[in-house]
């Protein structure tokens, strides 16, 4: 019995998600069928590919050797399809983009809407999660990050710098104690991240800004922004988000202002795919323009 390519696709999904049910959801087939396809592939190869454990399906030594070659074959198939369908014209198909919720809420809606307007046959999915994406498991085709990863077979492209400032709503400042120096902040409610849920060191603003506590905390930038906009406290936000809060103004701008960067992270093998390269170029130029436009409004 010869292995079938469709079975290799099922194998890759189980290897990436370590679960028959999760692989089935991605492939849109039931878990029992996934299990049968894996069993058929193992029979064809005369080798066990997975060891089942309480944590899920773990690759055996044979499975580990196969997954590397199967992933390369997947990339070859994608590149061959692009060669046959041509590189010219507009982008089409589906692209899933992972992003922290700051850029996902305040930048990507405008940027990706423009890309889709220019490419009507393209479908863009934004997955907004306050954590690092696992590209090896194909949670996304590419991801935006706030720091450049140092390990893995990844391609890293710096997209743009952006600024952050301490802000509050005008309504909050009207009734709160005056703020003239950073020491005055001890008399105010501070909005920020849940300390033990900060998924990247670049998001740990408090110490850099001289703030030692957080009174209203969330792992979501959107929740923090809503608290500040509603007058619940004072906190650090992206400058590009300030125009979305009509009542929000900077506080102590001469004392507290930070700069960070966005990076686009991709599988290194995906650099061969013209479609993803062109989308990445459009995304990078769009994000640079949108950050500059919004920061100019503050």
Q: Which pLDDT tens digits describe the chain residue by residue (298 residues)? A: 666 778 888 888 888 788 899 888 888 899 999 999 999 999 888 899 999 888 889 889 998 888 878 877 776 676 666 555 554 567 888 898 999 999 999 999 999 999 999 999 899 999 887 666 565 556 788 999 999 887 777 889 999 999 999 999 999 999 999 999 999 998 899 999 998 888 888 888 887 777 878 999 999 999 999 999 999 999 999 999 999 998 999 999 999 999 999 999 988 777 777 888 999 999 999 999 999 999 999 8
d(CA 235, CA 215): 10
Q: Please give the CATH topology (third level) of the domain spanning 93-160+261-296.
A: D-Maltodextrin-Binding Protein; domain 2 (3.40.190)
DSSP 8-state secondary structure symbol assigned to residue 178 = P
CATH 1.10.10.10 intervals, the chain: 5-85
Question: Which CATH class, in words, describes the domain spanning 162-259?
Answer: alpha beta
Number of Cβ within 10 Å of residue 204's Cβ equals 13
Identify the CATH class of 5-85.
mainly alpha
CA dihedral 48, 49, 54, 55 (to 10 degrees): 170
Long-range pairs for 66-72: beta carbons < 8 A, 24 or more residues apart: 66/11, 67/11, 67/12, 67/15, 70/8, 70/11, 70/12, 71/12, 71/269, 72/269
CA 4 to each of CA 36, 44, 76, 140: distance values in angstroms, whole numbers, following the listed order: 13, 9, 16, 25
Location of each CATH 3.40.190.290 domain in the chain? 162-259
Alpha helices in 46-153 (DSSP H): 61-85, 101-106, 108-118
Task: Give the DSSP H/E element, type plus range, for residue 13.
Answer: helix 5-17
Other Cβ atoms within 10 Å of 77 Cβ, number = 13
How many angstroms separate the Cα of 21 from the Cα of each of 16, 33, 55, 220? 12, 10, 13, 28
CA atoms within 13 A on the CB side of 60: 9
Q: Give residue 93's pLDDT.
A: 84
Specify the domain boundaries for CATH 3.40.190.10 within the chain.
93-160+261-296
Residue 230's nearest CA partner among 194, 191, 203 is 191
């Amino acid at each position: 019995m010869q292995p079938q390519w469709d079975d290799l696709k099922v194998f890759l999904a189980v290897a990436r998600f370590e679960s028959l049910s999760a692989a089935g959801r991605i492939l849109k087939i039931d878990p029992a069928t996934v299990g049968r396809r894996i069993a058929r592939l193992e029979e064809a190869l005369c080798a066990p590919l997975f060891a089942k454990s309480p944590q899920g399906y773990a690759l055996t030594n044979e499975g580990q050797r196969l997954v590397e070659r199967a992933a390369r074959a997947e990339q070859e198939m994608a590149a061959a399809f692009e060669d046959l369908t041509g590189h010219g014209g507009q982008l089409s198909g589906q692209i899933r983009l992972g992003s922290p919720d700051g850029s996902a809420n305040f930048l990507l809606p405008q940027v990706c809407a423009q890309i889709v307007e220019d490419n009507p046959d393209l479908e863009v999915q934004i997955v907004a999660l306050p954590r690092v994406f696992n590209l090896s498991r194909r949670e996304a085709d590419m991801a935006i990050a706030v720091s450049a990863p140092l390990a893995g077979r990844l391609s890293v492209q710096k997209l743009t710098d952006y600024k952050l400032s301490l802000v509050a709503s005008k309504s909050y400042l009207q009734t709160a104690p005056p703020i003239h120096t950073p020491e005055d902040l001890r008399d105010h409610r501070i909005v920020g991240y849940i300390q033990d849920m900060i998924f990247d060191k670049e998001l740990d603003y408090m110490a850099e800004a001289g703030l030692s506590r957080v009174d209203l905390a969330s792992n979501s930038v959107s929740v923090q922004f809503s608290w500040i906009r509603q007058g619940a406290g004072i906190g650090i936000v992206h400058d590009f988000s300030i125009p979305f809060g009509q009542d929000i103004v900077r506080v102590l701008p001469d004392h507290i202002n930070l700069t960070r960067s966005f990076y686009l992270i991709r599988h290194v093998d995906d650099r061969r795919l013209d479609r993803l390269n062109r989308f990445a170029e459009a995304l990078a130029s769009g994000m640079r323009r949108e950050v500059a436009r919004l920061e100019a409004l503050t």
